[in-house]
Amino acid sequence: MELRLNLQSQSLKRDGNGHIHWQTYRTSRVLPTSETAILICDMWDKHWSRGASERVDSMAPRVNEVIERARKNGVQIIHAPSETMDFYAGTPARKRMIDVARVPPPAPLAHDDPPLPIDDSDGGSDTGEKPWYKAWSRQHPAIEIDQEKDGISDDGLEIYSFMKKKGIKNVIIMGVHANMCVLNRPFGIKQMVKWGVNVALARDLTDAMYNPAMRPYVSHEEGTKLVVEYIEKFWCPTIVSKELKATY
């Protein structure tokens, strides 16, 4: 089976008058489902920010719908709820990752790392919470884990080794938060790009930690859009999740 994805990215271009602007490009690509994984980043059961929790509560059933269809079509599902591995200790999906022999990753590729277009230095809560604390204990319960097929890990080397063992060359990342964990976790976009993995972000199944009271003083939705566009410009393409439910 195959996935037919429309990868969206942006690059700088000069118009007819020599003015520089960002242009959006879409490239069609066919990926074998057997060589493709969906990685779900930090979709926790609870967040210290009420606004973040509310948006994850809304997103989780949609994530589950996508991965359920993709799993049936042969896509590998990897759950990566960071800092909750104790909850999954001894489960088949966790052991499946632990038991894989480690594969040394390649030397990281050099890559520019421009600053984000938003200021998230206050933690990014749009509902006023200031404390940073571990509110999470597991992945959101609305996202089902198939213990016979899925993997659970928050370790970049474990995930990379598992992918190499399974012949996985392509990773679609969904989850939160685009400007923080999705980019920066040891299994996140930046690391995957530096390891030479083909990675894309599901842009309709992510969110940002952004407070509209901070620069650039836009709505939370616009802040998330700016982060997604930043990823398209500097790190990897994006897709829409509905494409992961259809196979050919």
User: Of residues 1 and 217, which shows the higher confidence score?
Assistant: 217
| Angle made by CA atoms 123, 156, 189, in degrees to the nearest 5 | 55
Rounded Cα–Cα distance for residues 33 and 73 (Å) = 7
Q: How confident is the model at residue 16 (pLDDT cuts 50, 70, 90)?
A: confident
CB 182 within 8 A of CB 190: no
Joined together, the tokens standing for residue 97 give: 């990752």
**Rg of the chain taking only CA atoms, in angstroms:** 18
Give the Cβ contact number of residue 53 at 10 Å: 19
Mean pLDDT of 31-47: 98
**pTM for the full model?**
0.97
- Assign a CATH topology to domain 32-244: Rossmann fold (3.40.50)
Average pLDDT in the chain: 97
Question: What pLDDT is recorded for position 248?
Answer: 62
177 has pLDDT over 80? yes
For the chain, give the DSSP string: -EEEEEEEEEEEEE-TTS-EEEEEEEEEEEEEGGGEEEEEE--BS--SSHHHHHHHHHHHHHHHHHHHHHHHTT-EEEEE-TT-GGGGTT-HHHHHHHTSPP-PPPPPPP---PPPSS--TT---TT----------SB-TTS---TTT-EE---HHHHHHHHHHHT--EEEEEEE-TTTHHHHSTTSHHHHHHTT-EEEEEEEEEE----TTSTT---HHHHHHHHHHHHHHHT--EE-GGGGS---
180 has pLDDT over 70? yes
Question: What pLDDT is recorded for position 143?
Answer: 98
Q: Where are the domains of the chain?
A: 32-244
pLDDT tens sequence across 73-91: 999 999 999 999 999 999 9
CB 39 within 8 A of CB 159: yes
Rounded Cα–Cα distance for residues 159 and 94 (Å) = 11
Question: What pLDDT is recorded for position 246?
Answer: 72
pLDDT tens sequence across 118-147: 999 999 999 999 878 999 999 999 999 999
245 has pLDDT over 90? no
Q: Is the peptide bond before 177 cis (omega within 30 degrees of 0)?
A: yes
pLDDT tens sequence across 85-120: 999 999 999 999 999 999 999 999 999 999 999 999
Question: What pLDDT is recorded for position 132?
Answer: 85
Burial 122-137 (b: 16+ CB within 10 A, else e): ebbbbeebeeeeebbe
